[in-house]
A = this chain, B = another copy of it.
Amino acid sequence: MKALWLEDRTLSVRDVDVPSPALGEALVRVVRAGVCSTDLELVRGYYPYTGILGHEFVGVVEAGDDALAGQRVVGEINAACGACDTCIAGRPTHCETRTVLGIVDRHGAFAEYLSLPVANLHRVPDHVSTDDATFVEPLAAALEIQEQIDVTADDRVLIIGDGKLGQLIAQTLALTGCDLTVVGKHLGKLERCSTFAATQLAAEFNGAGFDIAVECTGDPNGFKTARAALRPRGTLVMKSTYAGRLDVDASAIVVDEITLVGSRCGPFEPAIELLEQGKISVEFMIEARYPLEDALRAFEHAARPGVLKVLLVP
């Protein structure tokens, strides 16, 4: 089958074997996949990874589970052992020996087929489009914030970042009824949030007193802006990873009693439900579609500044 292979920071479309699902896994024919910032980071060598990239996908189950056979599915990306202390404690996304689709020791979704544990798969409801369902994984990541902290209508919430993840986080947090401000670098993208949030260009922003700030720029400056805008005892949700280290004024964190919360993968079912209920708009984020054989061009496109979602169609 065709697949987009990463090795030594170099991408190539190559022919590889169709995966052989292990016990408990299903063979999934990929019908749509999304390029994520993490994919771009992997290409930059941010994490070491060799193999097929891709972790946002919609597919059709070809083998491995009778109930799901022929159904459209999306898949949780962390494949857990189910037996370690972390799994037993109910934190399978942090399993000590986990593999992660297209990120850690498991071939990913930029291919004609992939294999994932059946337990990771979720059926896509009939009236959720395949394009929309490609956003379930990042939408779940957005919803993880509300698994970790309470966000209520009483909270003044700031989102730093108007990109792919920022757009999803903004929509999910707006549903709480909170007093929401989105700060970003792109007027057009901020405009997308203006019906449910106050918006401001990063260069002009000097807000303060926020109860909660969510950082999703992938840029250490975003962290600084978020930190500066928090009230004492406020909460800073760290949603994006950075290449390199972060320089933190720890004493100010202590004196102001700030809480920092790292936030990663989230729950799929609520994400699917929100799409099914039409409460989240994602189509506007799709900037381009490329066939899998043009994956290199798709990556070039996705890497341009300000580009939202680029899809691959195997």
Contact = CB atoms under 8 A, between A and B. Distances in A.
A44 interface: no
Contacts of A257: 94, 148, 261-264
A2 interface: no
A209 interface: yes
Interface stretch (A11-19, A68-76, A114-122, A237-245): A237-245
A31 B79 CA distance: 63
A17 B161 CA distance: 54
A262 B91 CA distance: 25
Size class of the contact patch on chain A: 35 or more
A202 interface: no
Nearest to A258: B262
Nearest to A209: B85
User: Secondary structure at chain A's binding surface: helix, strand, loop or mixed?
Assistant: mixed
Copies of this polypeptide in the complex = 2
Contact of A254 (B232, B243, B251, B264): B264
Contacts of A250: 220, 223, 238, 241-242, 245-246, 262
Contacts of A231: 86, 89, 94
A141 B233 CA distance: 15
Contacts of A223: 250
Contact of A232 (B91, B245, B247, B259): B91
B260 A239 contact: no
A251 B255 contact: no
Given A245-B248, A255-B262, 20 more contacts: A86-B231, A89-B231, A91-B232, A91-B233, A94-B232, A94-B256, A223-B250, A238-B250, A238-B253, A241-B250, A241-B251, A241-B254, A242-B251, A243-B251, A245-B247, A246-B248, A246-B249, A253-B260, A257-B262, A258-B262
The 8 closest A-B pairs by CB, nearest first: A94-B232, A246-B250, A241-B251, A253-B262, A260-B260, A254-B262, A246-B248, A257-B262
